[in-house]
């Protein structure tokens, strides 16, 4: 009998599913459901509820639950062999949090398959909407927690990161300060990953060390809740948080809700979910320390595996637990694909092929033209006031502006990842924009490194499936090896290697200095 494993990824804009066959080592089903299009009743834009305050980014948690019903219904309709699934795992956009009252645990235990999930969850939320990773409205709370923990360096060395606006601790503190009664009525705070896993398991699911590290609440080395951080955040917090566990650890059989309603194997094991970035580490096969990847998605991220926990003293980057038991480093840029899309829209570029052609039509270095594309507030460098800044760049020149945004994104990545002190031999590129060769050439030249394209559009969902497979094999008494487990699933596309061009590398080495000055100028202007 085929050994099938399901991996889900609940991201900002969509819910994706990947089913893998462990024996043939093939992905046998890939699905995606876009929240704006499939669930228009929630009125989200790119998965987010429009808000007058540009710093506030929230989503309705009911939408994520309803998407789970929908994607299972679609898989059933398409004849996916749900009855043969042995384990279900998943990943979620990181940092986003869901607040439930004391009815949550009961509701999970008694999910009625004659009612949709959303009906089953009616009355369990103690906070209407969930703050997301894109939210940057907690600068004040970040400062308060950081101060109590002894400054940037100490906060980072204890929790893996300095306090960040999108991290769950500062978000919880803001909720406690602004809605103390609702905070008091909250019995459970889950992240997107542990919320979705709880629905599947029919009980409150643990939070893994990857997503747990995105809260400014977990001791990054001991991998337990840090009491000083909890105290600095909000009173009584310990009792509201789920336990911590390794990603992929089995929770128990899936809730009978999914078996009865969609024909999911009732013995399939629900496993602990992780964040989308830690899952991508596995989906891309980055199991050896020193391997790095750039993901060009809603957020652009640069991440890699690391053996020893080494945190960023300057506080720009993060250390999370990796599903392999090692650590991972990550730098996250908010103005990723949505910013590229904005430029495409502004210049009326009809599609990404055309965009790539325009990028390739200009010389490396763009004749010194630089753009800081902060359409939204930015995480790295910290920018609270959005705005586009151009330096020696003609606003009317479409090609120059298309090239400028990607060069800026890559130069920012290079500049702000220096703390990782890794010089990767090669970088794996993934995410939507990684199909564009012109963009990848810019990546190779700016990073001065070989770039390989990986043939997985859904690296997080694939990683989630592999992590669940690891958990299932372990529960079956085997001792699975990561190297063997990921082999065959995430191969670089043959002949996809892009080598840096020596001349262009020299140009960017020089231009990086100008880029750094432009960033300082713009940040000073914003601060005035």
Residue ranges in contact with ligand XUL by CB under 6 A: 11-12, 93-95, 133, 166, 214, 275-277, 299, 301, 330, 332
Which of residues 280 and 445 has its CB atom nearest to ligand XUL in the complex? 280
Least Å distance, CB 301 to ligand XUL, is: 5
Which runs of E-coded beta strand occur in 225-353? 244-245, 250-253, 269-271, 274-275, 292-296, 300-306, 318-321, 327-333
Residues in the chain: 528
Which of residues 189 and 485 has its CB atom nearest to ligand XUL in the complex? 189
Q: Where are the alpha helices (DSSP H) in 113-163?
A: 117-120, 139-149, 152-159
Which of residues 182 and 457 has its CB atom nearest to ligand XUL in the complex? 457
Q: In this structure, are residues 312 and 324 in contact, taking their beta carbons and an 8 Å threshold?
A: no
Which of residues 328 and 446 has its CB atom nearest to ligand XUL in the complex? 328
Which of residues 11 and 265 has its CB atom nearest to ligand XUL in the complex? 11
Q: Is 17 helix (H, G, I), strand (E, B) or coil?
A: strand
Least Å distance, CB 209 to ligand XUL, is: 14
Which of residues 166 and 403 has its CB atom nearest to ligand XUL in the complex? 166
Q: In this structure, are residues 249 and 471 in contact, taking their beta carbons and an 8 Å threshold?
A: yes
Which of residues 107 and 286 has its CB atom nearest to ligand XUL in the complex? 286
Which of residues 133 and 257 has its CB atom nearest to ligand XUL in the complex? 133
Q: Which of 91, 202, 64 is nearest to 466 (CA)?
A: 91
Least Å distance, CB 96 to ligand XUL, is: 8
Least Å distance, CB 227 to ligand XUL, is: 24
Helix axes 276-283, 459-475, angle to 10 degrees: 80
Which of residues 275 and 323 has its CB atom nearest to ligand XUL in the complex? 275
Least Å distance, CB 300 to ligand XUL, is: 8
Whole-number Å distance between alpha carbons of 121 and 425: 48
Least Å distance, CB 31 to ligand XUL, is: 18
Least Å distance, CB 429 to ligand XUL, is: 16
DSSP 8-state symbol, 225:
B
Q: Return the bridge partners of 327, or none.
A: 306, 321
- Residue 46 phi, psi dihedral angles, 5° rounding: 55, 35
Least Å distance, CB 11 to ligand XUL, is: 5
Helix axes 398-415, 337-346, angle to 10 degrees: 160
Least Å distance, CB 495 to ligand XUL, is: 30
Whole-number Å distance between alpha carbons of 163 and 185: 25
Q: Which element (helix H / strand E) includes 167?
A: none
Q: In this structure, are residues 312 and 419 in contact, taking their beta carbons and an 8 Å threshold?
A: yes
Least Å distance, CB 161 to ligand XUL, is: 9
Least Å distance, CB 320 to ligand XUL, is: 8
Whole-number Å distance between alpha carbons of 271 and 470: 10
Which of residues 312 and 508 has its CB atom nearest to ligand XUL in the complex? 312
- Alpha-carbon separation of residue 390 from 333, 416, 429, 521 (angstroms): 19, 20, 27, 11
Copy the structure tokens of residue 69. 């019903």
Least Å distance, CB 167 to ligand XUL, is: 8
Whole-number Å distance between alpha carbons of 376 and 46: 13
Copy the structure tokens of residue 510. 């020089």
Residue with tokens 């993060």: 318
Whole-number Å distance between alpha carbons of 352 and 438: 11
Which of residues 11 and 137 has its CB atom nearest to ligand XUL in the complex? 11
Whole-number Å distance between alpha carbons of 293 and 284: 8
Least Å distance, CB 370 to ligand XUL, is: 25
Which of residues 144 and 276 has its CB atom nearest to ligand XUL in the complex? 276
| Cβ count near 484 (within 10 Å) | 8
Q: Which of 3, 31, 202 is nearest to 111 (CA)?
A: 202
Q: Which of 178, 381, 196 is nearest to 276 (CA)?
A: 196
Least Å distance, CB 193 to ligand XUL, is: 10
Which of residues 94 and 409 has its CB atom nearest to ligand XUL in the complex? 94
**Rounded to 5 degrees, what angle do the CA atoms 303, 309, 312 make?**
65
Alpha-carbon Rg for the chain in angstroms: 22
Which of residues 12 and 335 has its CB atom nearest to ligand XUL in the complex? 12
Concatenating the DSSP letter of every residue in 341-353 gives HHHHHHTT--SHH
Copy the structure tokens of residue 120. 């089953």
């Amino acid at each position: 009998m085929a050994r099938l494993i399901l991996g889900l990824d609940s991201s900002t804009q969509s819910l994706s599913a990947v089913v893998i066959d462990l024996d043939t080592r093939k992905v046998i089903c890939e699905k995606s459901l876009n929240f704006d299009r499939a669930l228009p009743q929630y009125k989200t834009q790119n998965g987010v509820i429009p808000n007058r305050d540009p710093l506030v980014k929230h989503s309705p948690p009911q939408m994520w639950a309803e998407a789970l019903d929908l994607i299972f219904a679609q898989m059933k309709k398409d004849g996916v062999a749900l009855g043969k699934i042995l384990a279900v795992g998943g990943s979620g956009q990181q940092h986003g949090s869901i607040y439930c009252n004391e009815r949550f645990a009961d509701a999970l235990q008694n999910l009625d398959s004659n009612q949709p999930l959303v009906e089953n969850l009616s009355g369990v939320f103690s906070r209407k909407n969930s703050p997301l990773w894109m939210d940057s409205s907690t600068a004040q709370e970040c400062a308060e927690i950081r101060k109590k923990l002894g400054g940037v360096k100490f906060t980072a060395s204890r929790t893996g990161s300095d306090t960040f606006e999108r991290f769950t601790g500062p978000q919880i503190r803001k909720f406690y300060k602004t809605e103390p009664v609702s905070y008091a009525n909250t019995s459970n705070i889950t992240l997107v990953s542990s919320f979705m896993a709880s629905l599947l398991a029919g009980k409150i699911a643990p939070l893994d060390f990857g997503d747990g590290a995105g809260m400014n609440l977990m001791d990054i080395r001991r991998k337990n809740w840090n009491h000083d951080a909890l105290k600095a955040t909000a009173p009584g917090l310990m009792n509201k948080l789920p336990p911590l566990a390794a990603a992929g650890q089995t929770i128990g059989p899936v809730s009978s809700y999914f078996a009865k309603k969609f024909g999911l194997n009732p013995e399939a094991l629900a496993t602990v979910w992780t964040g989308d970035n830690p899952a991508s580490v596995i989906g891309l096969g980055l199991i050896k320390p020193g391997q790095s990847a750039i993901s060009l998605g809603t957020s652009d991220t640069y991440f890699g595996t690391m053996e020893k926990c080494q945190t960023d003293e300057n506080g720009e980057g993060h250390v999370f637990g990796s599903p392999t038991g090692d650590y991972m480093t990550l730098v996250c840029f908010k103005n990723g694909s949505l910013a590229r899309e904005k430029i495409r829209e502004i210049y009326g570029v009809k599609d990404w092929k055309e965009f790539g052609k325009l990028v390739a039509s200009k010389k490396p270095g763009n004749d010194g033209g630089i753009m800081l594309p902060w359409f939204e507030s930015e995480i790295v460098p910290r920018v609270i006031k959005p705005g586009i800044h151009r330096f020696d760049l003609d606003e009317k020149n479409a090609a120059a502006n298309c090239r400028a945004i990607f060069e800026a994104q890559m130069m920012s990545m290079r500049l702000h990842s220096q703390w990782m002190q890794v010089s990767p031999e090669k970088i794996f590129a993934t995410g939507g924009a990684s199909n564009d060769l012109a963009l990848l050439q810019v990546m190779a030249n700016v990073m001065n490194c070989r770039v390989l394209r990986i043939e997985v559009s859904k690296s997080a969902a694939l990683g989630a499936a592999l992590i669940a497979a690891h958990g299932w094999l372990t529960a079956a008494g085997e001792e699975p090896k990561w190297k063997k487990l990921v082999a065959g699933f995430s191969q670089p596309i043959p002949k996809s290697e892009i080598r840096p061009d020596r001349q262009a590398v020299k140009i960017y080495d020089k231009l990086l200095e100008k880029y750094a000055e432009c960033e300082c100028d713009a940040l000073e202007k914003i601060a005035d």
